[in-house]
C-alpha cells in the first residue's frame, strides 16, 4: 500500500507537523559572512549563559580579588600581593578584559594601584587600541588612569597617537575627557601640538611645529607666524566648536581654551552667537560622571569608604551642585571664558537699558 505522506500518529485531514529544531546558541547569520566584533560581543552578552561566555572564570576570579583590594583596612603589602596576582591572571588578555564592563573596572583598579614595572606590559598591550578605548563609556576611565600612570616616554607615545584625532575625540563625550586629561598632563610643546590641530587643517599635516621654541598658545601668533588665512582658521575652528556646543561638552579646559582663542579672532556677531549657545550650558550642573556614579552603576564593586573618603565624597557632591560657570572659573582657561560670558551679559543689560531710555 503506498504511503500517504502522513505519520502514523497524524490525524486524517491534517498535514504532518514540521520536525522541531533544536535550539542553537550560535548566531543566526550565515557562516560564510564574518560579522563584526560588536555583533559577536552583543550576541554573547544577551543570549549566551554566563558560564558559556569567554573568560567567564577569569572575570569571576579577578572580581573576587578586586573586592578584597578595595577593603580600606588592607595593608600595602597585602594590596600589592593581590594586585600582582590579578595582573598575573590577566597577562596576555588585557584587551579581552577591557572589553567587559566589570572586568574593565578591575583592570582600572589594578592600573591605579600597581607599580610602574607592572604597568608597562599593560600599556604595551593596550597602546595600539587606546584611541578606540577612549570612545567607550566602559573603558574611558581606564584610559585616563593609564595616561595618569604612564611614564614620560609612554605619555609621549600617546600624544603622538592623538595626532589627527583630537577634533573627533572632542566631539565624543567620553573621548573629550581623555583629551582633556592628556591636555592637563602635557608639557607646553605637547599642549601646543594639540591646539595646532584645532586651528587649521594645514597645521595638522606637520608634526614639527610643536617642537618650535616659541610655545605661546595663541591663535593670533600662530596665524601671523605661519602666514595662515584668518578666514580659513575661523571656518575650521567653527566646524570644531559648533558640535561641541550642540552636544554640551563644555566642562573641559581644552574646550575653554579653544573657545577663548576663537573669541579673540572672530567678529562680534560670530562671537556673540557662540556665547549665546554657551551660556545655557554654564548655568547648569556638570554632566561629567565621577567614580561615585560608577560605583552606583556597579554596586558589587563599590569600595567600603573610610571617614576621610566619605568626607571627600560629600565635598564632591557639593561641588557638583554648583553652577558649571562657577567651577570652570577655578582654572585659567575657564576664568578667561567665564569673564567673556559675563562681559557679554553686562553689555546686553546696558543695551537693554539704553532701549528702555529711548522709549
Express each pLDDT in 247-273 by its tens digit.
989 989 999 999 998 988 898 888 888
Domain boundary among 146, 162, 178: 162
Share of the chain above pLDDT 70, in %: 65
- Provide the 8-state DSSP code for 33: S
108 or 220: which carries more pLDDT confidence? 108
Q: Give residue for cell 561641541.
A: 244
Measured between alpha carbons, how far is 319 from 252 in angstroms, rounded to an integer? 15
Instruction: Label residue 189 exposed, middle or buried (CB < 10 Å: 0-12, 13-18, 19+).
Output: middle
Mean pLDDT of 148-161: 94
Mean pLDDT of 207-226: 64
User: What is the per-residue pLDDT across 42-52, written as a single tens digit (0 to 9) for each?
Assistant: 445 554 455 45
Structural domain contains residue 189: no
Structural domain contains residue 335: yes
Beta carbons of 260 and 337 less than 8 angstroms apart: yes
Structural domain contains residue 282: yes
Task: Report residue 65's pLDDT band, with 50, 70 and 90 as the boundaries.
Answer: confident
62 and 158 belong to one structural domain = yes
251 and 350 belong to one structural domain = yes
Task: Report residue 129's pLDDT band, with 50, 70 and 90 as the boundaries.
Answer: very high
233 and 150 belong to one structural domain = no
233 and 354 belong to one structural domain = yes
User: What is the per-residue pLDDT across 22-38, written as a single tens digit (0 to 9) for each?
Assistant: 444 444 444 444 444 44
Which of the listed ranges 188-192, 284-288, 292-296, 339-343 does the model predict with the highest average pLDDT?
Answer: 188-192
Domain boundary among 96, 127, 162: 162
Task: Report residue 130's pLDDT band, with 50, 70 and 90 as the boundaries.
Answer: very high
Which of 205-214, 236-245, 321-330 has the weakest average pLDDT? Answer: 205-214
Mean pLDDT of 4-30: 50
Q: Quick one: which of 288, 261, 316 has its CA closest to 176? A: 288
Q: Quick one: which of 130, 124, 108 has its CA closest to 182? A: 130
Tell me, what's the pLDDT at 228?
A: 79
Measured between alpha carbons, how far is 56 from 327 in angstroms, rounded to an integer? 42
Total residues belonging to the chain: 359
219 and 333 belong to one structural domain = yes
pTM of the entire predicted model: 0.72
Q: Quick one: which of 256, 258, 257, 204 has its CA closest to 228? A: 204
Which of the listed ranges 53-57, 70-74, 148-152, 201-205 does the model predict with the highest average pLDDT?
Answer: 148-152
Ramachandran area for residue 18 (φ above 0: left; ψ -120 to 50: alpha; else beta):
beta
User: How many domains does the chain fold into?
Assistant: 2
| Cα distances (Å, whole numbers) of residue 195 to 90, 189, 235 | 37, 10, 15
The SS3 assignment for 262 reads: helix
138 and 250 belong to one structural domain = no
Measured between alpha carbons, how far is 205 from 203 in angstroms, rounded to an integer? 5
Mean pLDDT of 42-70: 69
Mean pLDDT of 294-323: 53
Measured between alpha carbons, how far is 312 from 302 in angstroms, rounded to an integer? 16
Contacts (Cβ under 8 Å, ≥6 apart) of 225: 214
Task: Report residue 343's pLDDT band, with 50, 70 and 90 as the boundaries.
Answer: confident
Which of 66-75, 172-181, 270-279, 346-355 has the weakest average pLDDT? Answer: 346-355
Structural domain contains residue 269: yes
Structural domain contains residue 181: no
Give the structural domain span for 147: 53-162
Task: Report residue 40's pLDDT band, with 50, 70 and 90 as the boundaries.
Answer: low
Measured between alpha carbons, how far is 153 from 261 in angstroms, rounded to an integer? 30
Which of the listed ranges 116-125, 206-215, 227-236, 328-337 does the model predict with the highest average pLDDT?
Answer: 116-125
Number of Cα atoms under 13 Å in the Cβ half of residue 297: 11
225 and 116 belong to one structural domain = no
37 or 217: which carries more pLDDT confidence? 217
Structural domain contains residue 260: yes
244 and 328 belong to one structural domain = yes
Task: Report residue 293's pLDDT band, with 50, 70 and 90 as the boundaries.
Answer: very low
Beta carbons of 283 and 322 less than 8 angstroms apart: no
Structural domain contains residue 73: yes
Structural domain contains residue 182: no
Check whether 141 has a pLDDT greater than 80: yes
Contacts (Cβ under 8 Å, ≥6 apart) of 41: 99
229 and 117 belong to one structural domain = no
Which cell goes with 159?
600624544
Task: Report residue 79's pLDDT band, with 50, 70 and 90 as the boundaries.
Answer: confident
Q: Give residue for cell 600599556.
A: 123
135 and 229 belong to one structural domain = no
Q: Quick one: which of 185, 241, 195, 243 has its CA closest to 222? A: 195
Domain boundary among 130, 147, 162: 162
Tell me, what's the pLDDT at 58?
A: 86
Mean pLDDT of 95-99: 88
Amino acid at each position: 500500500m503506498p504511503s500517504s505522506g502522513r505519520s502514523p500518529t497524524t490525524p486524517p485531514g491534517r498535514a504532518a507537523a514540521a520536525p522541531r529544531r533544536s535550539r542553537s546558541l550560535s548566531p543566526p547569520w550565515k557562516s560564510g559572512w564574518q560579522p563584526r566584533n560588536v555583533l559577536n560581543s552583543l550576541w554573547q552578552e544577551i543570549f549566551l549563559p554566563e558560564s558559556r561566555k569567554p573568560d567567564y572564570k577569569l572575570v569571576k576570579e579577578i572580581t573576587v580579588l578586586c573586592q578584597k583590594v578595595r577593603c580600606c583596612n588592607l595593608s600595602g603589602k597585602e594590596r600589592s600581593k593581590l594586585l600582582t596576582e590579578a595582573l598575573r591572571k590577566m597577562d596576555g588578555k588585557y584587551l579581552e578584559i577591557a572589553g567587559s564592563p566589570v572586568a574593565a573596572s578591575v583592570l582600572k583598579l589594578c592600573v591605579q594601584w600597581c607599580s610602574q614595572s607592572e604597568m608597562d606590559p599593560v600599556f604595551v598591550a593596550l597602546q595600539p587600541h587606546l584611541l578606540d578605548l577612549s570612545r567607550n563609556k566602559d573603558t574611558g576611565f581606564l584610559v585616563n588612569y593609564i595616561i595618569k600612570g604612564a611614564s614620560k616616554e609612554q605619555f609621549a607615545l600617546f600624544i603622538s597617537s592623538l595626532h589627527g584625532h583630537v577634533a573627533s575625540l572632542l566631539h565624543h563625550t567620553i573621548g573629550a575627557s581623555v583629551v582633556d586629561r592628556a591636555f592637563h598632563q602635557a608639557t607646553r610643546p605637547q599642549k601646543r601640538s594639540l591646539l595646532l590641530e584645532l586651528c587649521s587643517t594645514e597645521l595638522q599635516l606637520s608634526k614639527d611645529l610643536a617642537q618650535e621654541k616659541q610655545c605661546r598658545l595663541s591663535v593670533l601668533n600662530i596665524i601671523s607666524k605661519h602666514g595662515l588665512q584668518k578666514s580659513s582658521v575661523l571656518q575650521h575652528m567653527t566646524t570644531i566648536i559648533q558640535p561641541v556646543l550642540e552636544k554640551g561638552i563644555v566642562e573641559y579646559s581644552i574646550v575653554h581654551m579653544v573657545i577663548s582663542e576663537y573669541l579673540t579672532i572672530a567678529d562680534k556677531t560670530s562671537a556673540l552667537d557662540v556665547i549665546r549657545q554657551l551660556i545655557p550650558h554654564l548655568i547648569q550642573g556638570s554632566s561629567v560622571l565621577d567614580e561615585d556614579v560608577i560605583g552606583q552603576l556597579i554596586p558589587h564593586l563599590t569600595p567600603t569608604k573610610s571617614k576621610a573618603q566619605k568626607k571627600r565624597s560629600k565635598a564632591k557632591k557639593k561641588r557638583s551642585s554648583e553652577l558649571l560657570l562657577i567651577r570652570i572659573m577655578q582654572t585659567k582657561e575657564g576664568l578667561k571664558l567665564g569673564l567673556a560670558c559675563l562681559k557679554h551679559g553686562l553689555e546686553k543689560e546696558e543695551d537693554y537699558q539704553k532701549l528702555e531710555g529711548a522709549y
